[in-house]
Structure 1
Amino acid sequence: MGKDKVLDLANKISRVKRGSKSGVTFDDPEYKIYSPWMSEDVAEVTLCLKLREKMSAAEVSAVCGRPEEEVAKLLWESAVGGAAFVNKIEGVDKYWVDIWVPGHMEMVVNNKELIQKYPELGAAFDAFGKKKGPLCAGNIPVGKGPMRVIPIETSIDGDTRTASYEEVSKYLNDNEVFSLSDCACRTSREAMDEGCGHLKEDICIQMGHAAEYYIRTGRGREITREEAMVVIKKAEDNGLMHSIPNFDGSGKTHAICNCCGCGCFAMRLAEQWQNPDMVRSNYTVKIDLDKCVACGECVETCPTNALKLGQKLCSKVPVAEKERELPHNTEWGEDKYNPDYRTNKQVVTEGGTAPCKAGCPAHIGVQGYIKLASQGNYEEALKLIKMENPFPAVCGRICPKFCEDDCTRCDLDGAVAVDDIKKFIAQKEMDADTRYIPKIKYDYDKKIAVIGAGPAGLSCAYYLAVEGYKVTVFEKQTALGGMLTLGIPSYRLEKDVINAEIDVLKELGIKFKTGVEIGKDITLAELRKQDYQAFYMAIGAQAGRSLGLEGEDAQGAVTGVEFLRKVNLGENSELEGKVIVIGGGNVAIDVARTATRVGATQVDMFCLESREKMPAHADEVHEALDEDININNSWGPKRIVTEDGKVVGVEFRKCLSVIDANGRFNPSYDENNTKIVDAEHVLLSVGQAIDWGNILENSNIELNPNQTIPADAATYQTDEPDIFAGGDVVTGPRFAIDAIAAGKEGAISIHRYVQNGQSLVLGRVKRDYRAFDKTNIDLDGFDNAPRQNIAHVDGKQSKQTFRDLRETFTEEQVQLETERCLGCGVAVADEFMCIGCGSCTTKCRFGAITLVKTHNAEGSDLKEVKKIIIKHVLKRKVRIAVNKPFKKIKAIIKGYDIKLDK
């Protein structure tokens, strides 16, 4: 049975008649926001209140005929619940009702006890927006919606600032009483387990009568004007935007909300129903194409997906742009909506963007840090890199340089030396008196365990620590760094470089426990009892693979990974005589070059692939050859030859092909073409394996046949909900930069997982950066400035030491090399979808984004709005009627087969 008086109240606040066509029913959200908690008695006295007209308990008592003392008690219960405002005026409590949004819906869900007891209240608030949103699409003129964006004030500093009602500070200065509460929209999302990772706590500001109400009813705590300004700045720093209730009259409001596009119900009007006019400010984004460097920071912070990365260079064959339909003059139905806006945000235009950003697994803003370096602003360049990669000094020495492989300049005269520029920037910071320690955003009292101190684990720990979590990294080995330390020789990556990068993590408060093997020294169950709330599994692929060859267990035969670990840990690993390295990848090159340095008289590499198809990077192949290492291509091992249990050689057979007709690894050999090569040592470097030990004992996780761990491709969550995984344990052996990218995504998921009611996918940016078609780029007119290079290291000198003898660019070289960047990517603005919040301007380091005033609308008093909207709706109907014939004629001219309506 429903509550009749509660339903009557829902109709009254809606200003409709119960039972009418537009009347509220028991199935509507306006009823459901009250029905779980409101008694019929509370509803009866609340029915006596008036819209925005203040009444005392005595006045209500006279209307409803109940004793004043009883009415006062019931009115207070109504106010605490959220169905009535209350303020003390001249010593007397006065009550009134307001509109649903912004008003009672927010008031109800901001009662912390109610929303915890009745999470369905959040669903009611959500449903109300979904009910009203489609009705508003196109029918609300700019500036006349119930909520309205107010620009971030720094984004309109200067010539564009023309009206005080556009400034956040104006509203703070106009008031004396302030309160701070949770965000009602994000509270509702959380109650539905649909949170977007932007948390609700202590983020929205009330002022004046609303602040008094929030403080008295326990919805918010009192703060000062100065504290309110701190909240505003904190919101802006964390990518949030401002909006205000808009029916208090021009230049007036009672609250400042700090919103995200992926959680806010007001912003949903712009995104789901493609109706930005209902919430937009008077400003629109403008991009200076000459200044923009496509770093992508603005794109990922834009709440309405109005910004994407595109192409700056001219195309040989221009791509036709699609004409956008607008709700101002077009019928706006479901075919125009975007119901999946929380999962389908795009970061690039249909044509793609700069190949360097697209090709980098971490999608670093390459153009951005190159531009900053060209300006001599190395600290900002480093900060931009560390947005995506905490270890630029490491990657500046060992990165596979996918960005360079894809560089547009490759088609002109050779790639920009991106990696050397990054190395210079990182070295500059490491040589400085102080290191850059990122600001910690929050302070969460939640413990996270990272298992494995390799690049994936360290990256995850870094981003979790920056977010504000208490992170402990557990490492089985005595040294930190994983394969960075144990698998990469010092002549490529010296240990002090790794340690310097890890020092920053220690400064962030991350704890490290070495020599601790999870599953042996302590179990996951025991860590859970210690209140660790999530785990990031990143143990890497630190074991070597065998081939199952005859003689593999002979003395003198070991895996290359084991050999490198011993050398890097300083254990006795000297070799004498001839060494054969089997494998053709980067690790095999490292093994061969290391063998040269620990006493081998001759080192021969044998691999299945031809020289052109070797998986090792070309630079590393050349360095190996320069150190007198013999590379024998297109040979595969048949057996290891032994005498008295010791290695004496390897029998090889000629490899005819590595890949079969179906594209699978399936080598074929000429069995009649074999040879035996003498050797005292064989180092097998044909891949890496994962050694899980007992880590996953008693868990629900079943490993893949190749021993990788099944994890969701987007969230990295495993079949054990509190265990996330990344790096080689998920993908198999890849590069450090792949692991670093996975670490950041893992941190995003863990943050959402450990917070109440957050979804791992909703509102998450899918970083699908795709490159434009380089074959359609016009490169005529560009200079042919030669690429800067570091001095060649003589192999005869380098093979005598484990020191990294490679030089770093000079500052002059950096300046010359950065000028070679073509700046081929750029941010592109969809001005219709822009709501003028200014969030993008806070992320741009280049002055490329500004807000320009394009409207002149002011907020209105609730009493005036209805007339304004009716007038707008009538004009819109006329525009739609006039526009229909023109659209059809235009379509016919373009050659479309469209039948005219009768």
Structure 2
Amino acid sequence: MVKEKVLDLANKISRTKRGSRNEIKQGDPEYQILEPIVTEPMAEVALCLALRKPLSAQEVAQQCGKSEEETAKLLWQVAMVGAAFVNEIDGVDKYWIDVWVPGHMEMIVNNKELIQKFPQLGAAFDAFGKKKGPLAAGNIPVGSGPMRVIPIQTAIDGETRSASYEEVSKYLNDNSLFSLSDCACRTSREAMGEGCGHLKEDMCIQMGHAAEYYIRTGRGRKITREDAFEVIRKAEENGLMHSMPNFDGSGETHAICNCCGCGCFALRLAGMWQNPDMVRSNYVVKIDAEQCVACGECVEVCPTNALKLGQKLCEISPAKTAKRDLPHDTHWGPDKWNPDYRTNKQVVLDGGTSPCKAECPAHIGIQGYIKLAAQGKYREALELIKRENPFPAVCGRICPKKCESDCTRGDIDHPVAIDEIKKFIAQQDLDAKTRFIPEIKHSHDNKIAIIGSGPAGLSCAYFLAIEGYQVTVFEKQTALGGMLTLGIPSYRLEKEVINAEIEVLRALGVTFRCGVEVGKDISLSELRGQEYQAFYLAIGAQAGRRLGLIGEDAVGVSTGVDFLRKVNLGETDNLDGKVVVIGGGNVAIDVARTATRVGASTVDLFTLESLDQMPAHVEEVEEALSEEISINNSWGPKRIITHDGKVTGVAFAKCLSVLDEEGKFAPRFDEQTTTLVEADHVLISVGQAMDWGNLLTDSRLELNPNLTVQADPDTFQTHEADIFVGGDVLTGPQFAIDAIAHGKEGAISIHRYVQHGQSLVLGRIKRDYRSFDKDKLNLDGFDNTPRQALDHVDGKESKQTFRDLRGTFTQEQVQQETERCLGCGVAVADEFMCIGCGACTTKCQFDAISLVRAYDADGADLRTVKKVIIKHALKRKVKIAVNAPIKRIKALMTD
């Protein structure tokens, strides 16, 4: 049954009349947001209120025919639910109504009790924006929308044409009463289960009469001006920007919001309807391409996707840029909108960006830290790396260098020595005095369990700890680090390096429980009983694969993974006699070189692949050869020879090819060409496998044939909602840097999962960084400065020790090598989509981004804005009519 008085009130606030063309009806969000919370008697007194004209209960009582006492009681109820403002004026409570947005919609959903009881209030607020957004597209001139971006002040300080009404400090200094409340937009998103991961708490600042209302009705808490400035600072530090109600008149507002483009309903006008004019400030972004290093920090923080990464280097035949349509003079219907703006944010232009950024699994801002290192800003360079990779010192020693493999410089002479530069920078992390420990952003009581302390688990723990979660890492071994510690020899990655970077996690408050095997010593169910709210399974591929050969069970035969684990745990320190290693990857090389160091008289490595096809990194192969390890290519094992249950040798056949015509693993052998190799020990290193133990007992997780876990490829959530996975258990054996990247994404998912009403996908950036086509580049004219290199390590010396004898670049070498970087990526701005918030400027460390004034609007007044909008809309109609034939002709000519 329709509440007629409530429907009348919805029309009154909307300034429409029942029966008119624009009347509010039962199904409209304006009625739907009032219906659950406003009674007919409440609506009756509210109908006597006026727009922004304060009235006392006595004055309203005279109009509605009720007693002053009853009227006062009902008016207070109306104010409490958010359908009216109330302030004490001259010692008397006075009430008035305002506009829907920004106004009653925010006030209603910011009543914590009501939004919990009636989540449909959030849906109504959302629906109101979806109803009004299409109507506003193109029809609102800059500075005349109900909300308006106010630039981050540091972005315009010193800008000669700035005005005080464009400075956040002006509004805070002009007021003396402040309150702090939840964000109404995020509250609504949360109520609908569509949160973007940016949480609602303590986001919006109210001032003056709005602050009084929020404090008195419990919507916000009173804060000082100093508190308000601190809220602004933290918001900017966390990548947020500011907007404010815009109908109070030039230089006036009653609130400052700290917004994100993926949650804010006002910014949705720019993102969804591609209508930035309605919310933009007077400023637009400008990028100094010479200073820009394409680190991507600005791209990921931009609320409207106005920034993307592109290329700086010239093309041989550059394509012409098509001129885009604008709503100023074009019909702006659904074909121009972007309804999926919360899931389809692009980080690169169609042509791609620098290969180093794209090929790095963690998408580190490589150009950025190279530039900082070139400037001697090693601390800042370390900080930039650790925004994506918590373990740069580790990766500097074991990274597969995918960034170098595709480095544009390699098409001229030799790739930039990116890994050595990173290793130099990361040396600071090994010294407690210079170690970078990030600031913890928030404080959450949620307990998170990480199962496994390898690179994926530690990375997830690191990023969750920065978000302020209570993180415990469970490790079944006595040592932390997973395969970093137990699967990689110390001569490549010394334990002191791993431990130094793990100390950062301890400093962040992460708890470690070693010697605890989940599934054996404690179950997932028991951990849930201890109030752990989410789990990240990252146990790695701990088991070595076998080949199913005859004789594989003989004494003296082991997998390479088991061998390395025992050596690293100190359980094996002597391996005398002749050793045969089977395999051709990096792990096989590690196994062979380790065998040399624990007493083997000879080490022969046999691999199916030819020398140039071996999956092991070329540098590792060269180091193995220098240590007198014999590498025998194109041989495949057929059986293991034994005597009295102990290995004595291995029979091999010549391998003719490893892959079939479709590129699948299908080795072919010449069975007539064979060899028999004597062996006292055989170490099979042909891959790794999962060993789940009892971890998944009573679990609903589903496994693939190779025992990896089935999980969402973007969120890493499994069939059990509170369990997420990453690293080898998700993908099969990969590199540490891949696992580290998984850890960060896992942390993002877990943060969203444990917070009420947050979506795992909405507003989440898909980091689809793609490299440009290097064949299209003009690379003429660059110098041929030689690549810096470290002195070669003498194999005869290195094979005698487990110490890492590889050196580190000197500072002079770093300076020379950083100069070789071509700086081939650059950020590119879409000035139309830019709303002039300045969030990008807070993330740029290179003075490459600035805001410049492009408009001259100083705010709107509710009393006069309607005329301004009508005038603008009429002019736009004329432009559309004039330009339509011209555009049709141009389109035909293009076709």
TM over 0.5: yes
Q: Does 1:535 align with 2:535?
A: yes
Look up the SS of the partner of 2:424 in the other structure: helix
Q: Distance in 1 between matches of 2:572 and 2:757?
A: 53
Q: Does 1:591 align with 2:591?
A: yes
How far apart are 1:618 and its partner, in Å? Answer: 0.7
Which residue pairs with 1:780 in the alignment? 780
How far apart are 1:20 and its partner, in Å? Answer: 2.1
Give the letter for the 1:781 counterpart: G
Residues 457-496 of structure 1 aligned to structure 2 (within 5 Å): 457-496=457-496
Which residue pairs with 2:446 in the alignment? 446
Q: Tell me the C-alpha RMSD between the 2 structures.
A: 0.8
Which residue pairs with 1:899 in the alignment? none
Which residue pairs with 1:282 in the alignment? 282
Q: Per-residue displacement from partner, 1:477-505 (whole Å, max 9, x unpaired)?
A: 00000000000000000000000000111
Residues 95-114 of structure 1 aligned to structure 2 (within 5 Å): 95-114=95-114
Give the letter for the 2:701 counterpart: I
Q: Does 1:388 align with 2:388?
A: yes
Q: Distance in 2 between matches of 1:631 and 1:768?
A: 39
Look up the SS of the partner of 2:828 in the other structure: strand
Q: Does 1:227 align with 2:227?
A: yes
Q: Distance in 2 between matches of 1:344 and 1:579?
A: 54
Which residue pairs with 1:18 in the alignment? 18
Q: Distance in 2 between matches of 1:609 and 1:878?
A: 71
How far apart are 1:429 and its partner, in Å? Answer: 4.0
Q: Distance in 1 between matches of 2:57 and 2:641?
A: 100
Which residue pairs with 2:130 in the alignment? 130
Q: Is the 8 A contact 1:281 1:836 kept in 2?
A: yes
Residues 45-194 of structure 1 aligned to structure 2 (within 5 Å): 45-194=45-194
Q: Distance in 1 between matches of 2:162 and 2:743?
A: 45
Range that drifts further, 423-432 or 85-94: 423-432
Give the letter for the 1:333 counterpart: G
Q: Distance in 2 between matches of 1:737 and 1:480?
A: 17
Q: Does 1:293 align with 2:293?
A: yes
Which residue pairs with 2:510 in the alignment? 510
Residue ranges of structure 1 left out of the alignment (5+ in a row): 897-902
Q: Distance in 1 between matches of 2:607 and 2:437?
A: 44
Which residue pairs with 2:344 in the alignment? 344
Q: Per-residue displacement from partner, 1:198-231 (whole Å, max 9, x unpaired)?
A: 0000110000000000000000000000000000
Look up the SS of the partner of 2:284 in the other structure: strand
How far apart are 1:317 and its partner, in Å? Answer: 1.1
Which residue pairs with 1:712 in the alignment? 712
Which residue pairs with 1:520 in the alignment? 520
Q: Distance in 1 between matches of 2:363 and 2:41?
A: 59
Q: Does 1:767 align with 2:767?
A: yes
Q: Is the 8 A contact 1:563 1:573 kept in 2?
A: no
Which residue pairs with 1:678 in the alignment? 678
Which residue pairs with 2:197 in the alignment? 197
Q: Is the 8 A contact 1:160 1:851 kept in 2?
A: no
Q: Does 1:357 align with 2:363?
A: no
Q: Distance in 2 between matches of 1:573 and 1:680?
A: 16
Q: Is the 8 A contact 1:379 1:429 kept in 2?
A: no
Q: Per-residue displacement from partner, 1:679-709 (whole Å, max 9, x unpaired)?
A: 1100000000111011111111121110101
How far apart are 1:161 and its partner, in Å? Answer: 4.9
Q: Distance in 2 between matches of 1:431 and 1:757?
A: 42
Give the letter for the 1:653 counterpart: A
Q: Distance in 1 between matches of 2:22 and 2:350?
A: 42
Q: Distance in 2 between matches of 1:19 and 1:729?
A: 63
Q: Per-residue displacement from partner, 1:459-490 (whole Å, max 9, x unpaired)?
A: 00000000110100000000000000000000
TM-score under structure 1 normalisation? 0.99
How far apart are 1:432 and its partner, in Å? Answer: 6.2
Return structure 1 stretches of 4+ with deviation > 6 angstroms.
none
Q: Distance in 2 between matches of 1:318 and 1:134?
A: 36
Q: Distance in 1 between matches of 2:372 and 2:160?
A: 27
Residues 846-861 of structure 1 aligned to structure 2 (within 5 Å): 846-861=846-861
Look up the SS of the partner of 1:802 in the other structure: coil
Q: Is the 8 A contact 1:473 1:511 kept in 2?
A: yes
How far apart are 1:663 and its partner, in Å? Answer: 2.1
Q: Distance in 2 between matches of 1:328 and 1:385?
A: 42
Residue ranges of structure 2 left out of the alignment (5+ in a row): none
Q: Is the 8 A contact 2:398 2:492 kept in 1?
A: yes
Give the letter for the 1:646 counterpart: K
Q: Distance in 2 between matches of 1:322 and 1:685?
A: 54
Which residue pairs with 1:260 in the alignment? 260
Which residue pairs with 2:563 in the alignment? 563
Q: Is the 8 A contact 1:650 1:679 kept in 2?
A: yes
How far apart are 1:239 and its partner, in Å? Answer: 0.6
Residues 552-631 of structure 1 aligned to structure 2 (within 5 Å): 552-631=552-631
Q: Is the 8 A contact 1:160 1:852 kept in 2?
A: no
Give the letter for the 1:465 counterpart: A
Give the letter for the 2:33 counterpart: I
Q: Does 1:414 align with 2:414?
A: yes
Which residue pairs with 1:28 in the alignment? 28
Q: Is the 8 A contact 2:295 2:366 kept in 1?
A: yes
Q: Distance in 2 between matches of 1:824 and 1:716?
A: 32
How far apart are 1:634 and its partner, in Å? Answer: 1.0
Q: Is the 8 A contact 1:138 1:327 kept in 2?
A: yes
Q: Does 1:695 align with 2:699?
A: no
Look up the SS of the partner of 2:250 in the other structure: coil
How far apart are 1:18 and its partner, in Å? Answer: 1.4
Q: Distance in 2 between matches of 1:617 and 1:430?
A: 26
Range that drifts further, 786-795 or 693-702: 693-702
Give the letter for the 2:46 counterpart: T
Look up the SS of the partner of 2:420 in the other structure: helix
Look up the SS of the partner of 1:249 in the other structure: coil
Q: Is the 8 A contact 1:446 1:533 kept in 2?
A: yes
Look up the SS of the partner of 2:864 in the other structure: helix
How far apart are 1:423 and its partner, in Å? Answer: 0.2
Q: Is the 8 A contact 1:160 1:853 kept in 2?
A: no
How far apart are 1:17 and its partner, in Å? Answer: 1.2
How far apart are 1:890 and its partner, in Å? Answer: 2.1
Which residue pairs with 1:648 in the alignment? 648
How far apart are 1:746 and its partner, in Å? Answer: 0.2
Q: Distance in 1 between matches of 2:300 and 2:322?
A: 23
Give the letter for the 2:280 counterpart: R
How far apart are 1:428 and its partner, in Å? Answer: 3.3
Identity of aligned residues (%): 75
Q: Distance in 1 between matches of 2:778 and 2:785?
A: 18
Q: Is the 8 A contact 1:297 1:844 kept in 2?
A: yes
Look up the SS of the partner of 1:221 in the other structure: strand
Q: Is the 8 A contact 2:393 2:429 kept in 1?
A: no
How far apart are 1:129 and its partner, in Å? Answer: 0.1
How far apart are 1:160 and its partner, in Å? Answer: 4.2
Count of residues in correspondence between the two structures: 895
Q: Does 1:880 align with 2:877?
A: no
Q: Is the 8 A contact 1:57 1:72 kept in 2?
A: yes
How far apart are 1:247 and its partner, in Å? Answer: 0.2
Give the letter for the 2:472 counterpart: T
